[in-house]
Each structure stands twice: as structure tokens, then as C-alpha cells.
A and B are shown apart, each in its own frame.
Chain A
Amino acid sequence: MSSTGQLTAPASVPAPRAVPARGAGGPGGRFGSLRQRRTLSFYVFTGPWMLGFLTLTAFPLGYALWLSFTNSDGLSPNPRFVGLANYREVLTDQTTLDSLARTGLFTALTVPLTIAAGLVLAVMVNQPLRGRGIFRTLLYLPAVMPPVGAGLTFKLIFDRDSGSANGLLDLFGVNGVSWLTDPYARWVLIVLTMWAAGNIMIISLAGLQDIPKEILEAAKVDGASPWQSFTRVTLPLLSPVLFFQVVTGIIGALQSFAPLFISLDASPQGMASVPQDNFLFMIHVLTQYFANGRYGYASALLWVLFAIIMLLTALVFRLSKGVVFYSVEPQAAGKRPRTLGGK
């Protein structure tokens, strides 16, 4: 049996008995039985993560949940328990509802656009071109750039009075545009978001390269045009990768505070200068926390966002049935070990 076969023994084959390792002691040995040692190593290896999860995720989540039921301002000594008042306010606060709607629109626009742009770039740099590596690097470079740096560059480019975008218009005698304020700021934000499409490109490129050439060649032999081959073979086989990008893209867009990168100043006062069209939900949350000092209400907003993300993710998973094609059924993969060459 090959080594691979050993790793993927079919379920029908009885599992080998645990053989005590030499020197490690038997069931009553210093480190217990093999099963016990496995248990121990599992916990030793997961322990640090678990500790990090509890201190840095579970504890803050719980603390924020507690805050959301109070009127805490983060400083006053005696915050009062207000029950569900903060959650009721979420439903009636027009600024919250507007920012939520704006964030929904931002997500609906940027997620498909970014994925489409990344896919197009991936298809382009997957072609057997001369200097393909250079193109791949150049297209990926913006994704490596820290968002704050990209934001600063965008601010310089799109500044109304001294930016190069208006400098270009000036050459043609066209009036300058106030890019970083309403109603143009939203488009600058969308371009800034798509600026990092190189990330999507890399993942899509990996997915494209994972598609067996034989299948594409078979499609060609069967008379499929390049477009048919792309839409009927490549896209279905790439669908798990695209699905991953949709899910993470939606979560990222809903939590985006990119507008701060192109605002004048990211301080609490600066948050207020974010143009209304770019006043996304997370900007509203940050303003409530750090400009208005409403820690209780802001925490309730975050929990509402958490619930929305969970619901949307569940919805996307449900809608993906019949659209996303796995080469191995995920459920089946869990029940039956996948064989790599063995039967």
C-alpha cells in the first residue's frame, strides 16, 4: 500500500490498533495511551488559539453585548441598564437606516464589480503571453499596498484644487470636479475598493490553473467556442472559488470603513467630514463610539451588523445550492475519505 493509501484507508477497513510507541509507555505509561496522547496533543496545539479566541473574540463580544444593554458612554462611572432600548433605537434611527441602506448598495455594487474585475484580470494573465509574470506582479501590486497608503494617494489624486485628476481636466480647459465630496465621493470610493482587485485576481488565477486542461481540450474537440468553453466549463469549475469570494466580499463590504481613508482626517472629528454618500454603517458605528461617546448604542449597532452578516451569509449559502459545483460533494467528503489514487 502506498503512503497515500495508508492515509486514506477506506472506512470499511478496520482501524489499526494503537501500537504503543517505544519508550512512550503503554496505557499506564507516563504519557498515557496513544489515544490519550493524541487528545493531549490536540489540546496542546489548539490551546493557544482557543486562549486567543476567548480573550480576543469571545470576551470582547460578550462585553460588547453587555454594553449594548446599557447607556454607557465609556467614561461615566455608573452606566444604567436600559434593556432593549438601544436595539429599539436602531430600528427608528434614520441615520442608522440610511447608512445601512447605503452599505447595502455599496455591497451590491462593489462585490460583483470587484469579483468580475478580478476574474477578467485572472483570465487575461492566464493567457500564454510574453512577460506574463510582470503583468501578474504589476496587477497584484495595488493589493499589496496598505489601504491607508492607497487612500492617501487617492486623496492627492482627487483633491479638487491641487489634485492631478483635475490637473488633467485643466489641460483640456474642463472645469475641475470636487471628487472627494458628494455626489462624486461614492465613485472615488468604489474605484478605491476595486483598486485592490488584484487580491481577487490571484485567487481566481489559482482556481483557473486548477482546472484540468483535458476538460477544456475535450470541450474544444466537441466544438465549443471559447465563450461557450468559458461559460459552460471554466465558470462552473471555478464556482467554489467565486463563491468563496462572494461570501468574504459581502462580509468585507458590510464591515468596510474605507471611506475614512479618503476623508480629510480619521480622528473622531474627521469621521464627521465623511461625505454623506460614503457614510457607511461602520462609519456610523465609529462616529457613535468615538465622536458621540455612545458606547452602549454603538455596541448594539455592532451586534445588529453581526446578525445581518450571519443572516446574509446563511442566505448566500442557501442560494448557492445548484449554482456552485464542487468536484467532490462537501457532505460526502466529510463522510467518506477522498482517495488520491487508491480505491
Chain B
Amino acid sequence: MPKSPMTSLDRRRFLAVSAGAALGASALSACAASVDGSGGSGGGSGSKTTLTVMSHDNELDKKTIQAAEEALGFEIRFIASDDTKLNAMLAAKNPPDLVRGLGATDTPYFAARGLMENLDPYFAKSSALKASDLDPVNDVWRYDGHKQGAGPRYGMAKDYSQDQMLWYRTDLLDAAKLDHPSATEPLSYDELLDLGERLVKRRLGKVRVYGLNATGLGNFSQLMGMTASAGGSLFAEDLASVDFSSPEALKALKWLLEYTKADIGPNVVNPNPDGWDWPTYQANRMAIACDGYWFGGAIGGDPKVAKVSRFAPAPQLGSNRISPCFSATGYWIPKSAKNKDAAWKFFEWYFGGQPAKDRASSGWGIPTLKSLHAQMPQNTALQKQAFEVQQQELDYFKVLTFSPYIQLAALDATLSQVLPKAVRSGTSAGKVADNLNSLMNNQMAKGKQVLG
């Protein structure tokens, strides 16, 4: 007897159909956004371009999005920054049109994987953003396959700071009868540690007032900057390994271990529960905060704190005075983005238009166009002092090359695993260096293998 169409829906067929539908649904979900993207690219059907931007909502807020939509005639689809989502979107070749990133550490990693669009042709054609007007910090967004600071431009910073500079509270230093750090001559790291030890206030095993926070930007970046100021480099020349055993790196590592052991400020063993320096500093619970110029934006919002705050140059571990930037937060355009031209228009507006001017005068970072430096705020005594110190410090800016074989998070993760044990057990800096070399180089070798 022939089977009716209904009885032919047996279990196997049903499962096969379901599996097919599931795969189809997965494939469709991958296509859906690209269809949206291509449809959004405008073409000639008169539909509005939809520009997808992955960023932080406190940096690209609704007001800025609205202003961009009005100025550019685009529709902007905002996606909150999420590394996992970005990885998935890049892997599916359906990335956002613009991605927020940290030029100082992201550029080699993404550029080496061929994921970033070379923006040189765009800069060459642009009248709003001229290469000659770009602040040197934008060089962290360049990578030539061997080092940062040279080769094609893959992105641009929105603003920046020289992150090892420091802010201090005069009221806490005066109460401890300590001299204020010089506004022109950098402290040595030993002097800084000594100041922190004198400024810390404790009660029954608890730290009431931190003397100093030296690790606000993460331990690896801190060590990288310190090693460079001692005349060395953490990364080998081919960027495929680290060396903590060199005299300069070992000196930096020893300092960090001493700082952690001294427990005078947030560290890898006892991190700051506030998550960042401002609430603690504002509450009169931190005497010295190693943060760049941007921190002045927060201080400027509180007149009482502004009155007792001063800015000072980045401390140095050796004689090679440098003052690097560890983030240079900005945007890049993925190579497989669907709306690159539209993304560039956003670039020109955001980095060279009104938003750039507004950021420059806000005091929350140094403008990334030289022509905007004059707009940095100088209305209050603190702003004037910070501006002067900052202008002198610009001479010592240096691009520190990061490795394309590993991400900063992985290096910080290794330090966070190794340092607490080392501090508790009193392991010597030499042994800690060997351990770090072994763990990090093993990871970097794997990264190199993947990159091929």
C-alpha cells in the first residue's frame, strides 16, 4: 500500500528537515545583517545609508548619534562594544562599519590579521583630515608589519593622554609635610614609591588613604613604559617574545613587586573596588593617581578637588625620558565593512568637525589634530597648570610597539596569575621574570603559529 504524504513524515525525515531548517536559519542569520548592510549602503534606490558603529555609549551617546545623523544624513545603528560580538562579526565577514579600539595595543593584532582597512587613500583625498595636521599620537594606529609608528594608517585616535603622568592632591601632601613634585622635572620611580609610602594612611590592617596608584592602566602597560624609560624594551625586536630578564625589564619588575608588597595603593593583589581612580581620588582617599591629562576633565568638574590638585610629568625609571600613550582610543574601519565611504565621512565629521572641537575644549583628553591644541581649556588655575605641564610633556611622547601575536588582555592575565603568588611567597624578581618569560613566550609562539 503506498504511503500517504502524512505517514511519510517519519522520524528520520523530520529530523533531517529540522536539521536542514536549523542550518538554514543559522546561515540566514549570518546573512541577515549583511543584507541589511548592503541595503543600507544606499545605492540608488533612495534608501538611507545605515552606518553600524560599535562603541561605548558614554562616548557615542544619543546626542552625538543624533547630531551625526543630522550632519551626515545617515542612519546610525549603535552596537555596544563587545569583544566577543566583534570577533563573531569579523569571523562572519559582517563587521560593524566603524569599531572603537585602542590604537596603542589593538593595531598590530588586527592589522596583522588583515582585518583593518588601510586609510591612507582616504587621508590623501580628505580636505577635513590632513596627514600634516595629525598629532604624532595617531602613529600608534600605523603598522608596517614589523613595528608600530610606520606604514599604513589603520585608524585615528579621538583624543589621548600620556598615561604615566600623575595628578596629586596638594592637601594630602601638605598634611604629610612633603614637597610637591616638580612641574617640569620628572620624579624617579624610587622617589614616587617613597612618596606613596609616606602618604598612605592605614588603620587596623586596612588602607584608609592610598598613597599612590601606579597601575591604573594595567600592569603590562606599566611595565612596558617603565622598561622603555630605563632604555630597554619588553618585546624582542621581532615582537614574537618578551624578555623580563633584561636589566631594564628586571628593574621595572622589581619596582612593581615592591609596590605591590608595600600595599600603598591598588595593585594586582588588592585592586581598587571603585574600579577606577576618580571616585577614590575625589573622596580624598588617594594622594597620587598615575593618570594622564584626561583625568583633569573629571577633576575640573569638582571645584573643591580642582583647587587642591596639580599635574606632574611622568616618572622615569632611567635616563631615557619618555612619556608614552597606552591607549589612543579611536576608531578603525574593518576591511570587510559594507559602508567604508560612509564610515570615512563619519571619520571626517567626528575627528575633524564640531565633535572634535567640543572634545578639545572639554579637557578630557589631548586633541588628536595639532590645529586643535590651542582649544584645550585654560580658564581655571588648574587648567592652566595642566596645559603648561602637558605642552612640555609632548616632547617626550614615544610610540611603543606592541606585538601582533598576542592581545594585551592575555599578558595582563598572565601577570595577574603570577604576581600575587610571587608577592606572597617572596619569590625573587629573577625567578618571576623566568616564569613570565616562559608563560608569555609560550602563548606568543602559539599566536605566531596561528598567524602563520
Contacts and interface: CB of A to CB of B under 8 A. Distances in A.
Given A54-B18, A166-B206, A160 B416 contact: no
A170 B90 CA distance: 52
A112 B406 CA distance: 41
Contact of A162 (B19, B273, B452): B273
A32 B4 contact: yes
A43 B14 contact: yes
A170 B206 CA distance: 9
A161 B451 contact: no
Interface string A30-44: 011000100110010
A330 interface: no
A272 B18 CA distance: 41
Nearest to B271: A264
A175 interface: yes
Interface stretch (A70-78, A117-125, A203-211, A248-256): A70-78
Nearest to B439: A95
Interface string A100-136: 0000000000000000000000000000000000000
Given A43-B14, A55-B25, A269-B412, A159 B273 contact: yes
A66 to B, nearest CB: 13
Interface string B187-223: 0000000000000000111111000000000100000
Interface string B411-452: 011111100110010000000000000000001001101111
A228 to B, nearest CB: 49
A161 B273 CA distance: 9
Given A39-B9, A75-B91, A269-B409, A47 B18 contact: yes
Interface string A241-277: 0000000000000000000000011011101110110
B273 A264 contact: yes
B113 A51 contact: no
Interface in B1-29: 4, 6-7, 9, 14-15, 18-19, 21-23, 25-26
B308 interface: no
B407 interface: yes
A71 B446 contact: yes
A51 B91 CA distance: 24
A230 B7 CA distance: 54
A293 to B, nearest CB: 6
Interface residues of A, number: 59
A9 interface: no
Contact of B7 (A32, A173, A265, A293): A32
B184 interface: no
A40 B91 contact: no
Contacts of B407: 268, 291-293
Interface string A63-90: 0000000011111111110000000000
Contacts of B268: 273
A142 interface: no
B47 interface: no
Main secondary structure, interface of B, reads helix
Contact of B23 (A59, A267, A276): A59
B119 interface: no
Nearest to A173: B204
A147 interface: no
Contact of B21 (A51, A71, A79): A51
Nearest to A178: B270
Interface string A150-165: 0000011001111000
Contact of B416 (A77, A174, A273): A273
A182 interface: yes
B238 interface: no
A50 interface: yes
Contact of A43 (B9, B115, B206): B9
A25 to B, nearest CB: 11
Interface residues of B, number: 58
A199 interface: no
B420 A161 contact: no
A8 interface: no
B269 interface: yes
A175 B205 contact: yes
A161 to B, nearest CB: 5
A174 B450 contact: no
A8 to B, nearest CB: 26
Given A72-B450, A268-B409, A276-B417, A182 B275 contact: no
Nearest to A279: B417
A272 B415 contact: yes
A313 interface: no
Contacts of B22: 51, 54-55, 58-59
A141 interface: no
A181 to B, nearest CB: 6
Nearest to B413: A272
Given A47-B18, A169-B204, A269-B413, 10 more contacts: A51-B22, A58-B22, A72-B450, A159-B273, A160-B270, A181-B269, A181-B270, A272-B412, A273-B268, A290-B84
The 10 closest A-B pairs by CB, nearest first: A272-B413, A54-B22, A272-B416, A175-B205, A176-B206, A32-B6, A268-B409, A291-B413, A176-B205, A36-B6
15 contacts: A31-B6, A32-B6, A36-B7, A39-B6, A59-B22, A59-B23, A78-B452, A79-B450, A95-B417, A175-B204, A269-B218, A272-B412, A279-B417, A290-B84, A293-B447
